[in-house]
Amino acid sequence: MAVIRLSMTRSLASETAVANEIQPLIRNLADVEAFERMPLGERAGEWTVQAVVERGARLNPGAAALHYLLDADPEETPLTFSFAQLMGKMHQTANALRRLFGGGEGVVGVLLPLVPENYFMLAGASAAGVMCPVNWALKPPQIAAILNAARAEVLVTLGPTPGFDIWETSLEVLKLAPRIRHVVQVRGPRGTVDAAKDFTALIARERDDVFDFERKLDPDDTAIYCPTGGTTGVPKLAKLSHRGIAYKCHAFAWVLGHGPGDVLFAGIPLFHSGGIISRTLSPMSCGITNVIVSPHGFRAPGSRENFWKLVERYRVTEVVAPPTMLAALIARPTGGADLSSLKKYANTGSSALPAATARAFEEKFGVRLLANYGLTENTASAALSPRGGEPRYGASGIRLPYTDIKTVAVDRHGVYVRDGAPGESGVIAVKGPGVVSGYVDESLNRGLFFPGGWLNTGDLGHIDADGYIWVTGRIKDLIIRGGNNIDASVIDDAVLQHPAVELAAAVGKPDAYAGELPVVYVQLKPGAGASSDEIREFAREKITERGAAPVEVYVIPRIPLTEVGKIYKQPLRRDAAQRAFSEALTAANLKVQVEITEDPAVGMRARVRLDPASAGEPDAEARVRNIMDAYSTVYEVA
């Protein structure tokens, strides 16, 4: 147990150890195993969020921790915070929240875009209590359900701001979340705040050199309640511990070789584990500068238009962007920007990384994209492609040091039967310091763990002889749209409310940009009539998040069922893939037949057969491959 008292001093020997800690070159599984010969407790010394942030600040207190841009404009003068200033804001934020909690511990909900105050909250809120970040794009009932499940007493949200409706949403949330006693407003770009609720004024009254309270903080205490299980549906709040977060900060540094002088883009939302840990707290812990491209992150139009100019302007060392954006950047000219600051590798993730995208990016820019595999219940990544290893396109890397991964065989009810044999496909299971203790609502923990404390990821895949993880499918019924998880059952439930609908089954339809788009198959009641457009509009009115609304509705004669009468979605997933690929190829004036099959090694496999009329064209196969390379599905051309 340790009382929170962070200082800005440390011995020279300890500083050298910190610098050396982030330098090992891990190239393969043998290097991971050799690395693990030193016990984890000896290799790392910081085990709270605040301790790892302080570690990064000590490396160079005067260096920029954050550059904040409003419009992703390289000519814009940024608002800059040094690491020393960030430490001050961390102390002030924690002290102010502790006072709002009434002197004890509490839970603070956060509804903020990418503004500096969100980073102050990430660094400081868990020192005072527990932070619960929420996707501000959700509708008020869903946000309120999450905050109620977290038992939040304080809400930090954006004040009235042009281009955002977060404050208006917050007013509706407060009607549904009566436990919240204090509301604090952050001033948005060109926005306003109520003087009595002003975040800046509130923390300005607090000490910036120390946590002005005593708290016995154990590394196993919860730091963050992180929403998971999709951005819609029943609130599932994973309890991310200080130890789990600190471990991931160390692990990312070891595998990626991060350190002072590195510069990354901050464009990923801070309401999911990837954005919070791998993209923010881990860089902070290594003394890395984060460039906030805009309050909207990479959704700002200028973030793509000016991407390479921003790389040149801020001497960015590692490209950090979701796979969909990376694919778009391949087709965008660099405009002569100086890209010499970039390292020869970059970590990406959050949704499937098509092998063709990875190859094309490396061929054009000389930067290898390191895919990863992770989930919130493991405090972000469990596996990452080694920066010094050979590329294994289509795989999700090797396990992180001190994290174990295996596959298991389960019965038809998902119950553990046995461990998988080497190379055998099965359910992926994870064990290590990043695995959470469970959800806030303990009733949701049923089935979360296999025997021995192994996390049941619900994902399917296999591990090859070199330790690379190949994820081939999902047992859990999620649709991943642009990195956001959508609970398919929410779409099903909404569509079933239509009076003409008897059965509904939502699945993900492959999309070259978003990864997957939600579509829903519908079986009508006998004698009933309803058009696809009518049902689609009905669903959009019922579903709480815009991104979860189905883009297409397919009315079919009969939804496939299992022997016991349950909806069987796998044929529908194959049908959605067949439609997606056929539509894309037909739009390119290619005459083809597309067949989708199941492959136990790679999941779905597409077989594209050229009709004789197209097969005679000299570039027909190349055109097919150019289109199919945009998807993560394995395919072959016949």
Q: What is the mean pLDDT of residues 1-27?
A: 46
226, 193: one domain: yes
Find the helix packing angle between 49-59 and 242-256, rounded to 10°.
40
**Which amino acid is present at 281?**
L
Task: Count how many domains the chain has.
Answer: 3
Q: What is the mean pLDDT of residues 28-45?
A: 95
Answer for the pair 468, 398: CB distance below 8 angstroms, yes or no.
yes
Q: Which of 28-42, 116-130, 134-148, 591-605 has the lowest mean pLDDT?
A: 591-605
Arithmetic mean of pLDDT over the chain: 90
543, 587: one domain: no
**Alpha-carbon separation of residue 585 from 323, 579, 605, 608, 609 (angstroms):** 22, 10, 16, 10, 11
Reading the block at residue 506, the tokens are 């939502």
- What φ, ψ does residue 250 adopt, rounded to 5°? -65, -45
The pLDDT tens digits for 306-343 are 999 999 999 999 988 877 678 778 888 999 999 999 99
**Can you tell me the distance from the alpha carbon of 4 to that of 1, in angstroms, rounded to the nearest whole number?**
10
Evaluate whether residue 205 is within a structural domain. Answer: yes
Name the residue among 372, 378, 375 with its Cα closest to residue 392.
372
Answer for the pair 300, 72: CB distance below 8 angstroms, yes or no.
yes
**Alpha-carbon separation of residue 193 from 158, 181, 186, 198 (angstroms):** 8, 18, 7, 6
Reading the block at residue 207, the tokens are 């000490």
Evaluate whether residue 33 is within a structural domain. Answer: no
Instruction: Report the chain's C-alpha Rg in angstroms.
Output: 24
557, 605: one domain: no
- Those residues whose C-beta lies under 8 Å from the C-beta of residue 42, and which sit 6 or more positions away, are none
Report the Cα 166 to chain-centroid distance in Å. Answer: 21
Evaluate whether residue 320 is within a structural domain. Answer: yes
Residue with tokens 């956001």: 484
Name the residue among 292, 286, 288, 284 with its Cα closest to residue 265.
292
Predicted pLDDT of residue 493: 86
Answer for the pair 295, 113: CB distance below 8 angstroms, yes or no.
yes
602, 541: one domain: no
Evaluate whether residue 456 is within a structural domain. Answer: no
Name the residue among 98, 152, 87 with its Cα closest to residue 125.
98
**Can you tell me the distance from the alpha carbon of 36 to that of 30, in angstroms, rounded to the nearest whole number?**
10
628, 515: one domain: no
Percentage of the chain beyond pLDDT 70 is 93
Answer for the pair 549, 137: CB distance below 8 angstroms, yes or no.
no
Name the residue among 457, 467, 373 with its Cα closest to residue 416.
457
Confidence of residue 230 (pLDDT cuts 50, 70, 90): low
Q: Which of 22-36, 139-153, 402-416 has the highest mean pLDDT?
A: 139-153
Predicted pLDDT of residue 5: 43
**Exposed / middle / buried, residue 271 (Cβ in 10 Å: 0-12, 13-18, 19+):** buried
Note the pTM of the prediction, 2 decimals: 0.83
CATH code of the domain covering residue 528: 3.30.300.30
Q: Which of 128-137, 405-414, 548-557 has the lowest mean pLDDT?
A: 405-414
**Can you tell me the distance from the alpha carbon of 454 to that of 164, in angstroms, rounded to the nearest whole number?**
41
For 135-200, strand residue ranges (E) read 154-158, 182-186
Final residue of a domain: which of 526, 541, 568?
A: 568
Reading the block at residue 522, the tokens are 């519908």
**Bridge-partner residues for 592, per DSSP?**
610
Q: Is the pLDDT of residue 109 over 80?
A: yes
Predicted pLDDT of residue 301: 84
186, 243: one domain: yes
Q: What is the mean pLDDT of residues 295-302?
A: 89
489, 424: one domain: no
Evaluate whether residue 447 is within a structural domain. Answer: no
Q: Which of 90-94, 364-368, 499-503, 615-619 has the highest mean pLDDT?
A: 90-94
**Can you tell me the distance from the alpha carbon of 404 to that of 416, in angstroms, rounded to the nearest whole number?**
17
**Can you tell me the distance from the alpha carbon of 375 to that of 484, in angstroms, rounded to the nearest whole number?**
12
- Those residues whose C-beta lies under 8 Å from the C-beta of residue 608, and which sit 6 or more positions away, are 581, 585, 592, 593, 594, 624, 628, 635, 636, 637, 638
Name the residue among 403, 438, 4, 476 with its Cα closest to residue 226.
438
Q: Is the pLDDT of residue 184 over 60?
A: yes
> In which element (H, E) is residue 239 found?
strand 236-241
Pairing of strands 263-266, 289-292: parallel
Evaluate whether residue 469 is within a structural domain. Answer: no
Confidence of residue 31 (pLDDT cuts 50, 70, 90): very high
550, 626: one domain: no
- 64 against 389, higher pLDDT: 64
User: Mapped to the 3 state alphabet, what secondary structure does 36-73 carry?
Assistant: CCCCHHHHCCCCCHHHHHHHHHHHCCCCEEEEECCCCC
615 DSSP 8-state letter: H
The pLDDT tens digits for 432-449 are 999 999 999 999 999 999
Q: Which of 247-256, 268-277, 304-313, 559-568 has the lowest mean pLDDT?
A: 559-568
Q: Is the pLDDT of residue 564 over 70?
A: no
Predicted pLDDT of residue 239: 98
Final residue of a domain: which of 533, 551, 568?
A: 568
**Can you tell me the distance from the alpha carbon of 622 to that of 150, in angstroms, rounded to the nearest whole number?**
52
Final residue of a domain: which of 568, 601, 620?
A: 568
Name the residue among 409, 385, 358, 387 with its Cα closest to residue 469.
385
Q: What is the DSSP string of 555-608?
A: E-S---B-TTS-B--HHHHHHHHHHHHHHHHHHTT--EEEEEEEETTTEEEEEE
Residue with tokens 């596959």: 407
CA terminus-to-terminus distance, the chain: 64
**Can you tell me the distance from the alpha carbon of 555 to that of 559, in angstroms, rounded to the nearest whole number?**
9
- 111 against 470, higher pLDDT: 111
429 DSSP 8-state letter: E
577, 499: one domain: no
Q: Is the pLDDT of residue 8 over 60?
A: no
CATH code of the domain covering residue 334: 3.40.50.12780
Evaluate whether residue 36 is within a structural domain. Answer: no
53, 167: one domain: yes
Predicted pLDDT of residue 563: 60
**Can you tell me the distance from the alpha carbon of 461 to that of 50, in angstroms, rounded to the nearest whole number?**
36
132, 196: one domain: yes
422, 549: one domain: no
Reading the block at residue 72, the tokens are 């992703």
**Which amino acid is present at 373?**
Y
Reading the block at residue 118, the tokens are 């969100």
What is the residue range of 496's domain?
478-568
**Can you tell me the distance from the alpha carbon of 45 to that of 247, in angstroms, rounded to the nearest whole number?**
10
Predicted pLDDT of residue 24: 65
Evaluate whether residue 224 is within a structural domain. Answer: yes
Helical H segments across 331-459, by residue range? 355-365
**Which amino acid is present at 162?**
P
**Can you tell me the distance from the alpha carbon of 245 to that of 285, in angstroms, rounded to the nearest whole number?**
11
